[in-house]
Amino acid sequence: LTPAGVSVSAPWQTVERSSGRSVHLVGRSAAWWPARVAFGDFEIDTIEVPGARLRLALLGGDGRAGRDAVRRWISEAATAVSTLYGRFPLESAQILVLPSSQSGSPVPWAQVLRGGGASAHFFINARASEAELRGDWTAAHELSHMLLPYVDRDDAWLSEGFASYHQNVLRARAGMLSPADAWQKLDAGFQRGIRGTVENRSLSEVSSSMGRNRAYMRVYWSGATIALMADVRLRQQTDNRQSLGTALEALETCCLPGTRTWSARELFAKLDELTGTQVFRDLYAAHAHSEDFPDLRAVFRDLGIDASRGRLRLEADAPLARIRDAIMNEPHRLAMGNTRH
């Protein structure tokens, strides 16, 4: 039971009692998955987005942006994630935001945890303005992690790569970025990944030691290239009827919220089963144990993305221009937002 005057922010389900007090029920998850719980004198804001209610707790002061601005920032990012298939991937999630005196980017650090339920924890620069928060990619990236079940840390290229891809694609679909800007940001990430690739180390090897070797760019952006390739191949093979978004929607229906850890091989096999293709198996075989950064030149050429002159240019008459434009402009289908299977 929650003591009177004390708020609790936790990933658990909250049940209101007739007495006015709350009972918190811990969700099913692996016993070793971590979680964060906050107790104290603060308010819990409910943010409603298509298909979900997010429980926002702002701790330690409002910072420069203010409470309402933080709420708008999280709501906008969560709504962007909802554009992938018309609803947020989970029915509820804990959101913890803590203003920090640490300088640097608007969001110096953030993390998604799964213990007892899904949660996202953000440290924000206390001096950041609302415009700086909303222009930052971190909230869209972290909330995009919730599109997948928990992936083994040794396969960080999958979880981090798919989130890196969607942080740009879904902000474009939500109108937060133009399609051209989203492609520019993706290409800039791919270039950082290329520069961060060292010889004689496979993607799987650098993923398992990413933190020790600071191999973030290679891991994140190799995974993002694989996400883009999967999206393009599914659309090519099905005349745009299937996409990475429809594959992840099917995954949500069968396998979220998750209570187990998935390897990349297992998750890709499941996505092939759900799509009736071999797209993911082929991509895993080609890239998971490769020492090279995935080569996107042919994909960019067919999509009509010319990055050779410094500033990216989109060619209208490219063979896959329709697929390129669909990736960034697909109908939101937010009218379906409250539908759950």
Q: Quote the pLDDT of residue 19.
A: 67
Task: Walk along the chain (341 residues) in steps of 10 and give the mean pLDDT of each run.
Answer: 78 73 71 87 94 94 84 97 96 94 87 94 94 97 98 96 98 96 97 94 94 94 98 96 97 93 98 98 98 97 90 94 94 43 44
pLDDT at 199: 86
pLDDT value of residue 309: 76
Max Cα-Cα span within the chain: 67
pLDDT of 293-327, one tens digit each?
999 999 999 999 998 877 899 999 999 999 999 99
pLDDT of residue 341: 44
- Provide the whole-model pTM: 0.93
